[in-house]
A and B are shown apart, each in its own frame.
Chain A
Amino acid sequence: MADSGVVVPAPPAAARPRERSRGRLPRGALLMAARKLGGALLVVWGVVTFTFVVARVVAPDPIGLLVPPGATQEAQDAVRADLGLDSSVAEQYVIYLRDLITGDLGTSFGTGRAVTDDLMSRLPATLELAVPALIVGIVLGTALGVISAVRRGRLLDHAIRIVTVIALAMPQFWLGLVLLSLFYVQLGWLPGPLGRLPVGAQIPPEVTGSYVIDAVIAGQWETARQAIDQLILPCAVLACGIFAPITRVARSGMVEALRSEYVRTAHAYGFGRSTVYRGHALRNALLPVITMIAGGVAFAFTGAVLVEGVFGWPGIGQYALTAVEQSDFPALQGFVLYAAIIYVVLYALVDLAHSLADPRTRS
């Protein structure tokens, strides 16, 4: 992100044009931050524009999906005008951007509600699923990676690596179906894919948006238990997709760190094993792990489309899936914008974390 934007004056002909513009960056941290923000806004704008072009120019006319079959031309035109689809594409684009700046993402063709409201009402469900899955995935992933590296070449290491590869190679929607078939259909231990609560269960009064926490606050223990039961399988599937990549990078980072001279020196100074592992090796192995964790967060918040789909989880991923299936462009564009913002914010946080963890990246 840092190596473009600023036009570097051409070097003299004698010098080969291989100097990187990175070295000429303005030093001030404020300028740097402004540049980053500008770059981020450019990316968000690019994402929004790309989606707009795909949805409004390349895609077939959505009117056929919105009016009853055999509707008259007048009726079709009325719907078109109602949705603002009767003006030219350029005009629509300008209107769309103008609305976007004021926070108006338009009205969903499918639900007939404001896309912003739709997204906000579905965010708690996604969060309730994503947060526990992320906690499990990150803790498990880092721990297994470190153990695997410390026990490199032993049986435990091989076992962890095999489990990791299988977890990565498993399509999540299939894992969800297999677990449902086992724990719901065959054993009957866990409830079916009906979303956040079984049919007829009492929805707790909203405080945090998480059914489990809200039910506990309201003292509805039965509801809390039911909500946890509904969570277990989708959460496990999601965590399975999160821990595996983290384990891989944590292992390779730790293996490299443990081979290094500073770790040998630390051992030679007589520091205890856990001090060396945690204080010296892990700290250095952490950078790629942070990047991978950011990937996990992005995945859990946006990419868990099929997990939510399989479990009937009424979150943002399912909303996006339905929007794709119904050619619901405002909903889709809203989701894409939401995802792009999450990605951009996460990248910025990763940059920040890198510069905190590794002073060499601060230059």
Chain B
Amino acid sequence: MTAPTPIPAADPVAPPGPAADIPAAPARKRRLAGQPITLLLGCALMVLLVVTAAVGQIWTPFDPEAPGVGLPFLEPGGDHWFGTDQAGSDVFSKTLAATWTDLWLTVVAVAIAFVVGSVLGAVAGYWGGWADAVIMRGTEILQSFPALLLALLLVTTLGSGLINVIVVVAFVGLPGYLRLLRAEVRARKSWEFTDAAILAGNSGPRVLARHLVPNGIMPLISYAAVNAAWVAIVVSSLGFVGVGIEPGSPEWGSMIAGGRTSPDSYWISLFPGLGILLLATAFYLIGDGLTDREDHR
């Protein structure tokens, strides 16, 4: 468990003077080496993907959205490393450009779900009563839908587009965060540090925001990483069905759907799918690694 109250003060054990500086460098090295291998692998993969996404924003061998940069259905090789699709677009350029889209869609949707879910979960867990009852019933109802179908239904109803996809995916992913933080807050509400904080004259919201939530947030972070993998898959599923972000802009799911009609040209679907696989794997590894680290403490 982490310390109940974070005190922003210097390390009390370290004596002042030159002696304190010496262990700094090896300690940092050991910190990296002591991390679970899954976390390191996941982070490395994520850095690679972020760099790829950034590169795809600055440079692609061909214009990713332009049709007819080559003949249609060219096999991988030559000028077109991943081949060309049915419209003669360059699959490599498109896959590269789509990395950015899928990555930031996922991150933004997870961030929204994380924040909104935490606030609702904290309120439900701390105050209980009718707010808790209403929020939990709503969560149960939401979780009684098949998640992907709920997302499909909502995006179809609201209309496709970037904002709608983000909002819907965040909404569908909300219950996990809500339940987790609610449980954490409920469990810690009866601990002594909470009593101490209240007796010190802190208001309810302040105790919640400064003590209960920071202490219960770690499981949510591991969950967020695992959930991000799921979100990445849902975002691409929406694109695959054709209700994702505006058609034409490069996105892995819709690229895979493009290859469906021409099964002989496996490369149209294969490479964007590998992109999703890598992104989701990176998130899973990070989530697993964070959980492992918590378990070791």
- Mark A residues whose CB is within 8 Å of B: 1, 3-5, 17-18, 20, 39, 42-44, 46-47, 50-51, 54-55, 58-60, 161, 165-166, 168-171, 173-174, 177-178, 180-182, 184-186, 298-299, 302-303, 305-306, 309-310, 320-321, 324-325, 327, 332, 335-336, 339-340, 343-344
Contact = CB atoms under 8 A, between A and B. Distances in A.
Given A47-B145, A171-B276, A174-B269, A54 B236 contact: no
A4 B136 CA distance: 9
By CB atoms of chain B within 10 A, which of A1, A17, A165, A343 has the most?
A: A165
B143 interface: yes
A303 B149 contact: yes
Given A59-B157, A173-B237, A306-B240, A336 B270 contact: no
Given A54-B157, A168-B229, A178 B273 contact: yes
Interface in B231-277: 233, 236-237, 240-241, 253, 256, 259-260, 263-264, 266, 269-270, 273, 276-277
A178 B271 CA distance: 10
B263 A166 contact: no
B182 to A, nearest CB: 10
Contacts of A184: 263
Nearest to B157: A59
B256 A174 contact: yes
Contacts of B152: 305, 321, 324
B241 A181 contact: no
Contacts of A166: 277, 281
B148 A54 contact: no
Contact of B133 (A5, A44, A343): A5
Interface string B7-25: 0000000000000000000
Nearest to A166: B281
A18 to B, nearest CB: 5
B189 A46 contact: no
B280 interface: yes
Contacts of A161: 38
A16 to B, nearest CB: 8
Contact of A54 (B38, B153, B241): B153
A335 B279 CA distance: 32
A171 B229 CA distance: 10
A65 to B, nearest CB: 12
A18 B190 contact: yes
A171 B233 contact: yes
A343 B143 contact: yes
Contacts of B143: 343
Given A54-B154, A178-B269, A4 B149 contact: no
Interface string B87-126: 0000000000000000000000000000000000000000
A327 to B, nearest CB: 7
A180 B263 contact: yes
Interface residues of B, number: 52
Contacts of A47: 141, 144-145
Q: Would you call the interface of chain B mostly helix, strand, loop, or mixed?
A: helix
Contact of B156 (A46, A177, A324, A339): A324
Nearest to A10: B129
A185 B144 contact: no
B256 A324 contact: no
Interface string B204-244: 00000000000000000000000001000100110011000
B147 A303 contact: yes
B158 A336 contact: no
Given A1-B140, A171-B233, A171-B237, A306 B269 contact: no
Given A174-B273, A177-B269, A324-B149, A169 B281 contact: yes
Interface string B169-204: 000000000000000001001100000000000000
B273 A171 contact: yes
Given A47-B141, A303-B148, A305-B148, 8 more contacts: A18-B189, A59-B157, A169-B229, A171-B236, A171-B273, A325-B156, A325-B241, A335-B149
A74 B141 CA distance: 39
Contacts of B279: 169
A181 B269 contact: yes
Contacts of A174: 236, 240, 256, 269, 273, 276-277
Contacts of B141: 43, 46-47, 50
A4 B137 contact: yes
Contacts of B148: 303, 305-306
Contact of B277 (A170, A321, A335): A170
A310 B253 CA distance: 13
Contact of B241 (A43, A178, A306, A336): A306
Contact of A169 (B149, B266, B284): B284
Contacts of A170: 277, 280
A309 B238 CA distance: 13
A181 B145 contact: no
25 contacts: A17-B129, A46-B137, A47-B144, A54-B153, A55-B153, A58-B157, A165-B281, A168-B280, A170-B277, A171-B236, A174-B236, A174-B256, A177-B256, A177-B259, A302-B146, A303-B146, A303-B147, A303-B149, A306-B148, A310-B260, A327-B156, A335-B149, A336-B149, A339-B146, A340-B144
Contacts of A173: 237, 240, 256
